[in-house]
Amino acid sequence: MTASRVLVLNSGSSSVKYQLLDMADRSRLAVGLVERIGEETSRLAHEPLATGGGKREQLGPIADHEAALKAVAAELAADGLGLDSPELAAVGHRVVHGGTRFTAPTVIDDEVLAEIRSLVPLAPLHNPANVTGIEVARALRPDVPQVAVFDTAFHATMPDHVAQYAIDAEVAERWSVRRYGFHGTSHAYVSRATARLLGKEPQEVNVIVLHLGNGASASAVRGGVCVETSMGLTPLEGLVMGTRSGDLDPAVIFHLARVGGMSVDEIDSLLNKKSGLLGMCGDNDMREVLRRAGEGDEAARRAFATYVHRLKKYIGAYTAVLGRVDAVVFTAGVGENAAPVREAAVAGLEGLGLALDPRANAERSGEPRLISPAGARVAVAVVPTDEELEIAAQTYELVTG
């Protein structure tokens, strides 16, 4: 029997999302989430899809990531899917920042772990939690390969002149200041799935991917290779997001510090956590924004308009970057579900060859699908993202390939 199970771990500062997959048939055996780790009100939600046993919930304090992973292991064991099974081939970890060092999935040893730790200054909110997740999983199954799959990796192919900011080159080099890009696992998966939807190989198509979740980013993918993406040194740059501003004049920061008397930490929190849709209208969930806008709420309408305007600018910019576009594809929570966002983003872009079939756009489905009229010059598509499957696939390929 060949071991074919992969556990995918996505460790955040106070949460762990996990999926156990069987890569023999790419099926999901169990999925779940531990949240509010370190608080009195921790919650573990577990669903053993393999047994069809239904969702289970465990409430009560879970002190740290080690306790969280042990609780997950116990839940899996109760379903006959224990992590001590010889069928476990590997653990795949989502790691947010790989810097310039990691451009492909990597088997984790002490040296790799130390390097991931050394990248913490570039991703102070994310990499520490990723490191903790790796340490705990390694202790649990030291004999099983642990693989890091980096959110930045897919964007490593961006040409240097695209990745560099137009600042003093020595300062940039000294402090590793350049554009890295994030959501790479999703952009990789979705761009490939879009080629498949068009009946083509990834090398044959140029695709603009719009990953619109609570975080949001765009990428331009030429022949399967990422040539530009909207997030930069950190996930703050680019599109308007649920709570992040996206692009703004960097002098806004100086102004808020000098004139507004705000500290760097306050401005960091303002731009990352209290801006975007939330900052403009008080709601970061697009469902609420749409509902309120539909009722005539002026702040919600304007926030929606700003969100869509930024999207259009990126579609236009990436059309210019690619020269020829075969498909524009929407993915993630907003992109997959919010027909009004797709409609508004594409409206008026006939000159770029973009149009929607209103009926196809309004249809709800979990499948990859085209929403442009037959024969359109540029296909417009909705492709559900699946970062966990992509992490599992990359992990499994590395350990078996």
Give binding residues as ranges.
10, 17, 94, 211-215, 285-287, 333-337, 387
Rule CB under 6 A: is residue 287 a binding residue for ligand AMP? Answer: yes
Known catalytic residue: 84? no
Q: From the annotation, which residues make up the binding site for ATP?
A: 17, 211-215, 285-287, 333-337
Q: Which residue is catalytic, options 151, 297, 326, 386? A: 151
- Cα–Cα distance between 47 and 57 in angstroms, integer? 9
The answer to whether residue 285 forms part of the interface with ligand AMP (CB under 6 A) is yes
> From the CB of 277, what's the least distance to ligand AMP, in Å?
8
The site map against ligand AMP for 335-364 (x = CB under 6 A) is --xx--------------------------
CB count within 10 Å of CB 5 equals 23
Q: Which residue has its beta carbon closest to ligand AMP?
A: 333
Between CA 391 and CA 384 the distance in angstroms is: 15
Give the one residue of 213, 235, 238, 279 binding ligand AMP; rule: CB under 6 A. Answer: 213
Q: Which of 14, 157, 214, 306 binds ligand AMP (CB under 6 A)?
A: 214
Looking at 7, 148, 233, 286, which residue binds ligand AMP (CB under 6 A)? 286
Per the structure block, which two tokens stand in for 210?
Answer: 């719009």
Cβ proximity to ligand AMP: between 23 and 334 the closer is: 334
The Cα-based distances of 276 to 215, 257, 302, 303, 391 in angstroms read 10, 20, 12, 8, 28
**12 touches ligand AMP by CB under 6 A:** no
25 token code pair: 């048939």
Q: Please give the annotated binding residues for Mg(2+), written as ranges.
A: 10, 387
Q: Give the total of residues touching ligand AMP (CB under 6 A).
A: 11
CA 279 to chain centre: 21
Helix axes 184-197, 387-400, angle to 10 degrees: 90
Question: How would you label 294-322 residue by residue, b for 16+ Cβ within 10 Å and e otherwise?
Answer: eeebeebbebbebbbebbbebbeebbebb
Q: What does the per-residue mask of binding to ligand AMP show for 216-255, with x meaning CB under 6 A?
A: --------------------------x-------------
Quote the tokens at residue 358.
């209103």
Stretch that binds ligand AMP, among 75-83, 157-165, 281-289, 320-328 (CB under 6 A): 281-289
Name the one range near ligand AMP by CB under 6 A: 12-20, 27-35, 332-340, 376-384.
332-340
DSSP class per residue in 192-217 = HHHHHHTTS-GGG-EEEEEEESSSEE
Q: How far is CA 356 from CA 58, 109, 334, in A?
A: 44, 49, 17
Active site residues: 151
Residues making contact with ligand AMP (CB under 6 A): 213-214, 242, 285-287, 332-334, 337-338
